[in-house]
Amino acid sequence: VGTDPRPPGNDSPGIPVDASDEQIVAAAASVRAGRVLTPPSWKDGARVAVCITLDVDNEFPRLNGNARPVSLSWGEYGATTGLPRILRTLARHRVPGTFFIPGATTVLHPGVVDEVLGSGAHEIGLHGWSHEYLPALRDAEQERELLLRSIDRLTELAGTKPAGFRAPFWEFGRHTLDLLREADLRYDSSLMAMDQPYEIAAGGRPTGMIELPVHWALDDGPYFMSDVGDPDVPFEVFRREFDLAYDEGTIFVLTLHPMISGLRSRAAALDRLLEHIRSRPGVWCASMSDVVDHLSPERSDSRIGGAPR
């Protein structure tokens, strides 16, 4: 980063429409899909892995923008009502979840990590400090500071260092991948270049950083943020995505928010989805770090997150 010739700032600069071939390749190269890491079969011979992930945003990022009481109360619903209801739903089906928690959420809800860890075989992951939009940060130094602050906070509350990161708003700054490697994290779950696990490549080289990819269509946010439609519509998309991941023998990664899917009718739709998932043979419901432990066996001899090979 110290010898980076590009101008200061944290966003990734675009290129002119008449850029040269070399400029096009260089501009796209910083974070790319590398090797596919899906193993021949999952734990105990399972044919599909299922990761139910929860982004516990609550009052953030609204608190950093327009801290209006009604808007904040919608976020607070995630803590008072949404999270407990989702935890009960996961417990009913004995499904472990991966909970990405902005560090600052624990200032307002100091018990949130205990609440999650106390109710199942769940994992806690990183989700920024206050759900900051990484490309808008001042520079790599500010991003590093917030990342380390979030790691310290969650480590203190969970008792172990989080293994995974999910970028707030699913957006990277141009230093994010370097910072995740520097912090020695095992995996990221913010990118969308495939719908199965892969290794992130940078500048044409493997990075050792594992990606467990997401997709906007597998996130409750786009369906419900500006729409109060029938919960069965998105959950029907989620079910079909699971069925096809099952047929393909890969992974199904779902992203939900307690403040959104913790609503009664939506939690009921989640309940039906989990019932469907549990009714199929050969399904492995796992936390993301358990999935990372199980990725293609040739990885086991090289430390994940380490130097490129």
Q: Is 220 an interacting residue with respect to Zn ion (CB under 5 A)?
A: no
Min CB(237)–Zn ion separation in Å: 20
Min CB(204)–Zn ion separation in Å: 31
Min CB(131)–Zn ion separation in Å: 5
Q: Which of 38, 54, 55, 181 binds Zn ion (CB under 5 A)?
A: 55
Q: In terms of CB distance, is 105 or 250 closer to Zn ion?
A: 105
- From 52-60, 70-78, 147-155, 247-255, give the range in contact with Zn ion by CB under 5 A: 52-60
Min CB(206)–Zn ion separation in Å: 28
- From 56-64, 174-182, 194-202, 247-255, give the range in contact with Zn ion by CB under 5 A: 56-64
Number of amino acids touching Zn ion (CB under 5 A): 2
Nearest residue to 34 via CA among 195, 176, 202: 202
Q: Up-side HSE of residue 125: CA atoms within 13 Å toward CB?
A: 31
Min CB(293)–Zn ion separation in Å: 25
Q: Which of 38, 49, 57, 294 binds Zn ion (CB under 5 A)?
A: 57
Q: In terms of CB distance, is 57 or 220 closer to Zn ion?
A: 57
Q: In terms of CB distance, is 55 or 211 closer to Zn ion?
A: 55
| Cα(266)–Cα(248) distance, integer angstroms | 27
Q: Which residue is nearest to Zn ion (CB)?
A: 55
Min CB(30)–Zn ion separation in Å: 23
Q: In terms of CB distance, is 37 or 214 closer to Zn ion?
A: 214
- From 26-34, 57-65, 261-269, 272-280, give the range in contact with Zn ion by CB under 5 A: 57-65
- From 48-56, 74-82, 247-255, 282-290, give the range in contact with Zn ion by CB under 5 A: 48-56
**Where along the sequence are the contacts to Zn ion (CB under 5 A)?**
55, 57
